[in-house]
Chains A and B, each alone.
Chain A
Amino acid sequence: MTGSPEPAPDAPGPAVVGRGRLGRWRDQAVALGWLVVVWNLLWGDINWANLVGGLLVGAAVLVFYPLPAVSFGGRLRPWPLLAFAGRFAVELVSASLHIARIAVQPGYRPRGAIIAVRLRVATDLNLALTAEVVSLVPGTLILEVDRDSGTLYLHVLDTHGPADLGVARARALAVERRIVRAVGSTSELRRLDVTSPEKGTRP
């Protein structure tokens, strides 16, 4: 792994620029560790052959398919993480049932809307995590991501007027808040409180 040839011109963001080689190596080591775990799970048991094989395959993946660095600057907080997981499960079940119901309800034509939600913490990691979670919960679908301004464009299903748009926006921002509380850094947490959590209008 000799300083993997990543496409540098693609604005890596201030957090990444400031990090030294050490941080980069740590990120790579963490990725390698996860790949070894995945490899062992795929084979169904953990033994020396699988560990060595996993290391080789993982290293090959990291060398031949380098990804832009997404570094993790925050820290894991167990309780908010648990709260996030629990809330996610509840929303997943209730929203799935809702979509399933309007799918089989006779003669019902759901309306939709496309809304812009501007996140308060516009790091790549937070943007990706929030987009994933928002998109996993039924009823909202990510259409477009504006990475520069940290804006998500969502399609919301089954709206009944302007009030529902505000509700959907607040829900997406609440997801972001829970994610930052669970895995964000302290400065990101502070940004949640400084910026007022109201409607994310464009500049």
Chain B
Amino acid sequence: MIATIADWLGAGCLVAGALLALAAGIGVLRFPDALSRMHAATKPQVLGVLLLLLGIALRLRSPADLGMILLVAVFQLATAPVAAQMIGRAAYRSGRLDRSLLDADELAERGPGSGSAGPA
């Protein structure tokens, strides 16, 4: 009984995670510039991966697998922001952003040191 419920919950988590990953993919295609694409590429995917891992954990249920899944989750959470920041910073410094889509840019007002950032 419990096993059946866990299986169904796991299946639900898997589908939900896959849908979030799909939305992230669509976002990468549709968003206008590099910075907004980074949002789509890194963010729904975090929750998506967590849901997928939860779904897998609910179906596997053995201690060794749970330990491994926990590790994957922790490292995913710890490394995704680092990668996102590196790419975001590179995009900003090389001017790959659409300034007409920005309401404000307080990084540009920072003064010397970031002078090479962006066209105009």
Contact = CB atoms under 8 A, between A and B. Distances in A.
Interface of A: 38, 40-42, 44-45, 92-93, 95-96, 99-104, 109-116, 131-132, 135-139, 141-146, 153, 155, 157, 159, 161-162, 164-165, 202
Given A141-B88, A144-B89, A95 B81 contact: no
Q: Is the interface of A mostly helix, strand, loop or mixed?
A: mixed
Given A110-B31, A112-B36, A96 B44 contact: yes
Contacts of A143: 35, 85, 88-89, 92, 107
Interface of B: 19-20, 23-24, 26-27, 30-32, 35-36, 38-40, 42-44, 46-48, 63-65, 67-68, 70-71, 77-78, 80-81, 84-85, 88-89, 92, 101-110, 114
Nearest to B19: A100
A32 B16 CA distance: 37
A103 B98 CA distance: 18
Contact of A141 (B85, B103, B105): B85
Nearest to B46: A136
A144 B110 CA distance: 11
A81 to B, nearest CB: 15
Contacts of A109: 32, 101
Residue from A135, A137, A141 with most neighbouring chain B CB atoms (10 Å): A141
Contacts of A116: 106-107, 110
Contacts of A113: 102-105
B75 to A, nearest CB: 9
A30 to B, nearest CB: 16
A95 B102 contact: no
A120 B104 CA distance: 22
Given A100-B20, A138-B44, A44 B104 contact: no
A136 B68 contact: no
Contacts of B114: 144
A102 B104 CA distance: 21
Nearest to A149: B110
Contacts of A202: 109-110
B98 to A, nearest CB: 9
A112 B30 contact: no
Contact of A112 (B24, B71, B103): B103
Given A110-B31, A112-B35, A131 B68 contact: no
A174 B32 CA distance: 29
Residue from B43, B68, B109 with most neighbouring chain A CB atoms (10 Å): B43
A103 B20 CA distance: 10
B119 to A, nearest CB: 15
A85 to B, nearest CB: 12
A136 B35 contact: no
Given A99-B39, A100-B24, A114 B81 contact: no
A141 to B, nearest CB: 5
Given A96-B48, A104-B23, A138-B43, 4 more contacts: A99-B39, A135-B81, A135-B84, A141-B85
